[in-house]
Structures are given as C-alpha cells and as structure tokens.
Structure 1
Amino acid sequence: MSKEGNFLIFCIEQYKSAKNLTGKQVIELFRRYGISEYIVSCFEALHTTGTNYIIQDIDLFIQAHQTV
C-alpha cells in the first residue's frame, strides 16, 4: 500500500476514535464530502502535522462543504 493510503487509513481511524463513530459512519462521511480525496491530495502537508490538527482540519473541511 502507498504511503498516502496508509496515511488515509490512519486519518480514518483517528477521526473514528475522536468522534466516537463507527467505521461505516466515517466512510460514509468521508464519501459524502470527498474527504479521502482531500487527505490524499494534501498528504505532503498533512502528514507532518499532529493528530489534533488533522481532526480539526477534517471538521473545518466538512463545515466548509456543508455551507456550499
């Protein structure tokens, strides 16, 4: 698996844990808002940040796409 793929799995697991969601709920959320594509496209920047930043960034991404 690619480093981007491994990082995406890490982000999914961390988000699931932080938000007390099931894996299915997180996958549905990521699909609805295109979060997986965002994470992969921003891998170079995101993989250097901490878990709390990543969770917050995903939340901000969702908020931005809910208002569109």
Structure 2
Amino acid sequence: MDVTRQGDFLIYCVETYKNAKHLTGRQVAELFTRYHVWDYVYSCYEALHTTGANYIVEDIDLYIEARKPAMA
C-alpha cells in the first residue's frame, strides 16, 4: 500500500469534489468528516483511483446520501 499515492488521490478527490460542487475546501473537509468520506476513499482506493472524475463525484454523492439521516 503506497500511502503517498493514496494521500495524493485523496487530495485529488477533494479538489475534484470541491470544483464540481462549487464548495470551499473547508466545506468539503467538514462534509467529508461528517459523513466519514475520508475513510471511504481510503478503503476504496484500489477501485476508485481507476475511475474518472465524474464517477468519483457521483460515487461520493451516493455515499453521503446513504449516510444522511432519513427525514421524519
């Protein structure tokens, strides 16, 4: 496991998501922390790093949506 490549990929994911969603770095960091996206990206690195930017953004959106509490 190459920690440097995973770290670089995590930065890539943050920047890609930030630009796609027109968010600040702080907003993305808070969102990724709230929904444990950091852990998800690390655990799925092998699969995710071979996909394109649009797929990554959509995948992160699906991951976040699945973790949001259901509306009462």
Q: Please name the residue that 1:59 is paired with.
A: 61
Which of the residues 20, 34, 37 maps onto 2:36?
Answer: 34
Count of residues in Structure 1 that have an aligned counterpart in Structure 2: 68
Quick one: which amino acid aligns to residue 15 of structure 1?
A: Y
Percent identical residues: 57
Question: What's the offset of the Cα at 1:67?
Answer: 3.6
Query: Structure 1: which 4+ aligned runs deviate by more than 2 Å?
Result: none
Structure showing greater radius of gyration is 2
2:17 counterpart of 1:15: yes
Q: TM-score, normalising length from structure 2?
A: 0.90
Q: TM-score, normalising length from structure 1?
A: 0.95
| Distance in 2 of aligned mates of 1:42 and 1:2 | 15
Q: Please name the residue that 2:50 is paired with.
A: 48
Q: Unaligned stretches of 5+ in structure 2?
A: none
Quick one: which amino acid aligns to residue 57 of structure 1?
A: D
| Distance in 2 of aligned mates of 1:67 and 1:60 | 13
Q: Unaligned stretches of 5+ in structure 1?
A: none
Alpha-carbon RMSD = 1.1
